[in-house]
């Protein structure tokens, strides 16, 4: 018998908020070494307000396998001004770039390369929207995520100390994928 798994990638709708929120909470609670790598603390990062904002702005996407929510990502079709401080490969305007935020795979689905599926979809969506690059930042301590980004073709572009509620002042590493 052939194992057919249906993957569904789609924009999050407002009615999906609770499921998305609950899955982020599960990611925070059940990710080994969360305090070392991503250092997410639900309510500080990510927050309900952050997730609602991404949903309301049409930036939040989910990946489902059969009917199970397995991953989430925010794909924003611009970059904030604080990204301008990095030495990117090409000087682009804020609206020529998409940025990725709060990528997460639910713990029970890890090891299936689903983060790469989300990245592939982000690349496809960014190209469809005429973007010239995708950029992101990740904590310097989050070496597993950095490895995934590098394996997917993202290039290291610099490190910058920034403040986040869940980490205080810490080093963030910036990556770029020219399109």
pLDDT 10s digits, 127-179: 999 999 999 999 999 999 999 999 999 999 999 999 888 898 999 999 999 99
Q: What is the pLDDT of residue 67?
A: 86
Long-range contacts, 39-44 (Cβ 8 Å, 24+): 39/139, 39/141, 39/166, 39/167, 40/166, 41/166, 44/165, 44/166
Residue closest to 116 by CA, chosen among 148, 142, 144, 146: 148
CA dist., res. 165 & res. 131, Å (int): 30
Domains in the chain (CATH in brackets) are 7-178 (3.40.630.30)
pLDDT band for position 5 (cuts 50, 70, 90): low
**What percentage of residues in the chain have a pLDDT greater than 90?**
87
For 22-65, the pLDDT digits (tens) are 999 999 999 999 999 999 999 999 999 999 999 999 999 999 99
Chain centroid, CA 157 distance in Å: 17
In the prediction, which pLDDT does 35 show? 92
pLDDT at 82: 87
Give CA–CA dist 65/3, Å, rounded: 12
* Beta strand extents in 66-131 (DSSP E only): 68-76, 97-105
pTM score, whole prediction: 0.93
DSSP code string of 129-154: TT-SEEEEEEETT-HHHHHHHHHTT-
Q: Which residues contact 8 (CB under 8 A, 6 or more apart)?
A: 63, 64, 65
Kindly indicate the confidence band of residue 1, based on its pLDDT and cuts at 50, 70 and 90.
very low
Residue 48: per-residue pLDDT: 97
pLDDT digits (tens, 9 = 90+) for 100-116: 999 999 999 999 999 99
User: How far is residue 146's CA from residue 105's CA, in Å, rounded to a whole number?
Assistant: 15
What was the pLDDT predicted at 121? 95
User: Nearest to residue 71, comparing CAs of 34, 44, 111, 41?
Assistant: 111
Q: Which residues pair with 170 in a beta bridge?
A: 162
């Amino acid at each position: 018998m052939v194992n057919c798994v249906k993957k569904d990638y789609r924009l999050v709708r407002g009615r999906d908020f609770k499921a998305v929120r609950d899955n982020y909470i599960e990611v925070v609670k059940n990710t080994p070494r969360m305090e070392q790598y991503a250092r997410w603390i639900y309510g500080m990062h990510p927050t309900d307000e952050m997730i609602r904002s991404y949903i309301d702005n049409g930036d939040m996407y989910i990946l489902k396998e059969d009917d199970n929510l397995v991953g989430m990502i925010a794909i924003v079709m611009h970059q904030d001004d604080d990204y301008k401080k990095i030495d990117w490969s090409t000087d682009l305007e804020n609206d020529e770039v998409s940025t990725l935020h709060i990528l997460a795979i639910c713990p029970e689905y890890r090891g299936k390369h689903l983060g790469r599926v989300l990245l592939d979809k982000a690349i496809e969506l960014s190209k469809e929207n005429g973007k010239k690059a995708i950029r992101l930042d990740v904590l310097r301590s989050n070496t597993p995520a950095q490895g995934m980004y590098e394996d997917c073709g993202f290039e290291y572009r610099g490190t910058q100390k920034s403040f986040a509620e869940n980490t205080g002042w810490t080093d963030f590493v910036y990556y770029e994928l020219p399109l």
